[in-house]
Structure 1
Amino acid sequence: MTPQTIRVACSNCNLRELCMPMGLSESDIGRLDDLVATRRKIKRGAALFSNGDRFNALYAIRTGFFKTCVATADGRDQVTGFQMAGEIIGLDGIVADRHSCDAVALEDAEVCVMPYDRIEELSREVPALQSHVHKIMSREIVREHGVMLLLGSMRAEERLAAFLLNLVQRLHARGFSQSELVLRMTREEIGSYLGLKLETVSRTFSKFAEEGIVEVKQRHVRILDTEALRAIVNAPACA
């Protein structure tokens, strides 16, 4: 890939504001373009990286959808997150120089590969980049706390409502509808992430549909009453 095509990939990318620092000078933007060593296409069902792989890069998702998961002691896959275009993936590898989870494409995807040693080098020259990487790490910590809250104290309806609201909010930031989405993950994968059985996820979707909160057609979900979903999440706990 020539430097010019990399420049087109970054400077003019419509996802730039989601995965690159804001308010940079033209010269700094030009230097950040050089972060992208290459792009990789990942087929649906294939792993971008696996648990135990040596860590050497972060990945900006250009197109597609991923799940991260870890194998439990009894051999099951526990889904730990879902990532979409404009988000950075691979932060788990920084601590021990090896990845601690699998990142699997839920549909055909493309990522921009950003070698981590190059990120560290440029961070010293472009302070906004260092700040941006810290913000991304902080966002991951906040997300993990949110998941712990979901799994620790919420009923099934609250978990699924919070999941749908979060998903549609992230998609809306990428220019998609505020009320319609296509679920790239299976009901089983949603259940794994939310700590719910498959039957519970299906039953809760049906309950939401019966109450006129959502309309569900296979993987297509239309949110009919956003306020009702918010009310479910914010419902006071029973004494």
Structure 2
Amino acid sequence: MQTLHETSALAPSACSRHAGQCSTCALRQYCVPQGLSNTDTDKLQSVIVNARAIRRGETLFRVGDTFDALYAIRSGSIKTVVTSANGRDQVMGLHLGGDALGLEGFDDGTHACRAVALEDSSVCVIPLSTFERACRETIAIHRRLLQLLSREVVRKSTQTMILGTLRADERVAALLLDISSRLTCRGYAGNEFNLRFTRDDMGSFLGITLETVSRTLSRFQAKGLLQADGKLIHILDFDGLRAV
């Protein structure tokens, strides 16, 4: 089965018919650099050659794929995964609408992880060559790239801290609060949301077992901190969850 990366080299006419419109995107305030003039916004929009749909379970790119494009999630959610030497998958991140994907490719020109859609999603495809040219021509776009890279550094540092210093229940609470905060920033409800991660994905991401995740969520529910109905999470007591 081909990845989206392998099928992304479409003719310009085909791409333009599906080009993402930054000016009308619901995530404009989160994704597009602040303070861009209309001309600069048009320039940024011109480098987005395609808005592509990805079905749940489809792979956007794999480890070793050539890094020739950045991706911005327009809708849905995507997880990034690496495979250890013993063949076990390790979930490295959960990415929501407005997040950029593929930034790790700046290191050596190839992707260092696998990106898999957690639900039916869509991404804006931004060819690296045209994006680099836009960065050279527009300081706001270049600054936005630095912000995205900085955000990834902070996110990875936070994950390292969570894995290295927090107990299992603290890790689960921190993840739920982080997802809530990120959804709120995007204008969505932060107290009730569908957790696109499976329990197994959560365990992999947090460095704990599936059973520990399930037991922890059950304890949180028994304490009145939240209600969990399948993937639907309803946070009832934010202060209590922060105090775990």
TM (normalized to structure 1)? 0.94
Give the alignment's Cα RMSD to 1 decimal: 1.3
Per-residue Cα deviation, 1:110-145 (whole angstroms, up to 9, x for no partner): 100001111111111110000010001000000000
- SS in structure 2 at match of 1:92: helix
Select the residue among 186, 207, 215 that pairs with 1:174: 186
2:74 equivalent in structure 1: 62
Question: 1:178 offset after TM fit, Å?
Answer: 2.1
Question: 1:34 offset after TM fit, Å?
Answer: 0.4
Per-residue Cα deviation, 1:62-109 (whole angstroms, up to 9, x for no partner): 111100000011101000000011111111111111000000001111
Question: Following superposition, which runs of at least 4 residues in structure 1 exceed 3 angstroms of deviation?
Answer: 1-6
1:40 aligns with 2:49: no
- SS in structure 1 at match of 2:126: strand
1:20 aligns with 2:27: no
1:192 equivalent in structure 2: 204
Structure 2: which amino acid aligns with 1:148?
Answer: T
Per-residue Cα deviation, 1:212-238 (whole angstroms, up to 9, x for no partner): 001010110100000011112xxxxxx
Question: 1:210 offset after TM fit, Å?
Answer: 0.5
2:153 equivalent in structure 1: 141
Distance 1:3 1:105, change over 3 A: closer
Distance 1:4 1:51, change over 3 A: closer
2:7 equivalent in structure 1: none
Per-residue Cα deviation, 1:145-198 (whole angstroms, up to 9, x for no partner): 000001001001110010000001111112211210101110000000000000
1:95 aligns with 2:98: no
Structure 2: which amino acid aligns with 1:48?
Answer: L
1:122 aligns with 2:134: yes
Question: 1:4 offset after TM fit, Å?
Answer: 8.1
1:237 equivalent in structure 2: none
Per-residue Cα deviation, 1:5-61 (whole angstroms, up to 9, x for no partner): 63x611221111211101111111111110101121111111000001111011010
The size of the alignment, in residue pairs, is 231
CA distance in 2, matches of 1:38, 1:217: 36
In the alignment, structure 2 segments of 5+ residues that lack a partner are 1-13
CA distance in 1, matches of 2:202, 2:101: 19
Identity, % of aligned positions: 44
In the alignment, structure 1 segments of 5+ residues that lack a partner are 233-239
- SS in structure 2 at match of 1:34: helix
1:163 aligns with 2:162: no
1:236 equivalent in structure 2: none
Distance 1:75 1:144, change over 3 A: same
Segment drifting more, 45-54 vs 170-179: 170-179
